[in-house]
Amino acid sequence: MIDCNRYFFALKPEDETRDKIVLTRSQLSCSGRWVKTQNIHLTLLFLGNISQEQQYKVINEAKKIAFPEFELSLDKTGYFKKSQVAWLGFDRVHESLLILNQQILKAVKQSNISISQQTYKPHVTLARKSEKINKIVVDPVNWKIINFVLLKSIDTQYGVKYQLVETFKCRT
């Protein structure tokens, strides 16, 4: 049975990093809906709706992923015209992030979950339904990556809520 919730792998910042990301938003002048502070994340791979069996399989496969701690530096803003999203991202994407994305993709394929593959454009969504913002360089937000998570997106009358399903700690 497939539930109506959407699942995705992500990086969730610690409180201090999340607060710095929120502070960075204040440097932007844009319209739109700010992402709720507790929902700030960087998507690693979107799965969509999956069955409970697929969820168990993908969790077991993801537990096999070995990756070292690394640090990201969020240092520029941008805008996706089609989805009307203002974002915070990188001047240069860290290779460890790309490797982690590929390892998760492999785990998903091993779990027989079919996903629509798009070019991976890692970013932290700051606002939705936003007008275009100018790309600006911001004070870097350094983010130490020590784990990744599987989240479930739940639609509520108060907006989207992300529920933690599993945490995967770094290990080499």
Q: Is 35 a domain residue?
A: yes
Q: What average pLDDT does the segment 132-154 reach?
A: 89
Which residue is it, tokens 């339904």?
Answer: 129
The pLDDT tens digits of the residues spanning 34-89 come to 899 999 999 999 999 999 999 999 999 999 999 999 999 999 988 888 889 999 99
pLDDT reading at 130 higher than 90: no
d(C-alpha 130, C-alpha 137), whole Å: 19
Evaluate whether residue 1 is within a structural domain.
Answer: no
CB 108 within 8 A of CB 115: yes
In whole angstroms, how far apart are CA 121 and each of 78, 79, 107? 11, 12, 19
Give the count of domains, the chain: 1
Q: CATH number of the domain that 11 lies in?
A: 3.90.1140.10
Domain membership flag for residue 65: yes
User: How much is the mean pLDDT over the chain?
Assistant: 90
Q: In the structure, what pLDDT confidence band is assigned to residue 1 with cuts at 50, 70 and 90? A: very low
